[in-house]
A = this chain, B = another copy of it.
Amino acid sequence: MDPRIREHAEIIANHSVDLQAGDNVVIRAPPAAEDLVVALHEVVGAHDANPLALTSNSRFERAYMRAGEEFETPEHHLALIEETDVYIAVRADTNVTETSDVDPETNAARSQAAQPILGERLSKRWCLTQYPAPANAQLAEMSTEAYAEFVYDAIVKDWGAVRDHQAQMAEILDPADEVRIVSGDTTDVRMRVDGNPTLNDYGEKNLPGGEVFTAPVRDSVEGEVLFDKPLYHQGREVTGVHLRFEGGEVVEHSAEKNEAVLTEVLDTDDGARYLGELGIGMNRDIDQFTYNMLFDEKMGDTVHMAVGRAYEDTVGEANERNESAVHVDMIVDMSEDSYIEVDGERVQEDGRFVFEE
């Protein structure tokens, strides 16, 4: 077995989920991730914890959703998660478009029925990670070997050092009132963040981690943004997304490709036209876009903004939390002709932070 797979498993157990003796552990993974799941069983055994392996397989999901008419919350699955201490979800695709011929409404009904399970899972110690499967390499337009190199570079690292490095940015953003993002002559947007906590993501719930993020104050966003990186939503690519904000709301939008998909997202509900997240990508080992938001949003020298739902932990008590059925991240490249201003001071310019000078 590739030794990086065992290192990956050790990081998940010892860093991400802080595995303890006696923990009831669920490992949910597709067949393509078999080697990582073997390595996870080794570490779970070595910790005297109790593993149960669930299969994640988009062929099963497709077959079930196309055949079914009524979807209810599976009570046995919920009972399992209630008694679970640690939930490790591994992504590894065999065909990323496997559910492309499932009716979107059916998909939504199935997701809706599964909501209580997701909610319960998020209350546990959990980690979402990636195994470098061929179909994910294909989506990234890379060889499987090169993609594996990319994945392990992003994941197998000293996360304590990452925490300390990123803390410098979190300490700037957390007490701040206002943030301004400028890139070329296409992006200039301001938003208030006062009262909203800033979180430091150093590879716990997401592996890879590598971002510092908060929520904008709901009605405070003003200006316009051109998102340089493509957005991949429900199997469809949207490029050249341009948004204009007034009073927090998206009042104008356009896209070069698949604008209708963007319109559909923004029309989901009231909250879908407001920002739920501002994130600063700081993982410089993620040096290319791979159509996988678990990696893309942490790319070094980028910022991302998500329309839709804000995370609870990022909204202070005095502020309103933006609610929506969607949370769609979009990315701006900040590596050239760009800067981030916090309360009038430039804290990043062309990808270089003030604390790196």
Chain A interface residues toward B at CB < 8 A? 21-22, 24, 26, 29, 31, 34, 37-39, 41-46, 48, 50-55, 57, 59-61, 63-70, 72, 74-85
Contacts and interface: CB of A to CB of B under 8 A. Distances in A.
> Nearest 7 CB-CB pairs, A to B?
A45-B67, A45-B68, A50-B74, A76-B83, A80-B80, A53-B55, A41-B63
A24 B75 contact: yes
Contacts of A39: 63
A320 B313 CA distance: 63
A42 B54 contact: no
Which of A21, A60, A85 lies at the interface centre, i.e. has the most chain B CB atoms within 10 A of its CB? A60
Q: Is the interface of A mostly helix, strand, loop or mixed?
A: helix
Contact of A53 (B41, B43, B45, B57): B57
Chain copies in the assembled complex: 2
Contacts of A69: 48
A67 B42 contact: yes
B67 A22 contact: no
A45 B64 contact: yes
A309 B43 CA distance: 36
Given A42-B63, A48-B70, 4 more contacts: A42-B66, A48-B68, A53-B54, A80-B83
19 contacts: A24-B76, A26-B76, A34-B59, A37-B55, A38-B60, A42-B66, A42-B67, A45-B67, A46-B68, A48-B70, A50-B74, A51-B74, A52-B74, A55-B55, A75-B83, A76-B81, A76-B83, A78-B83, A79-B82
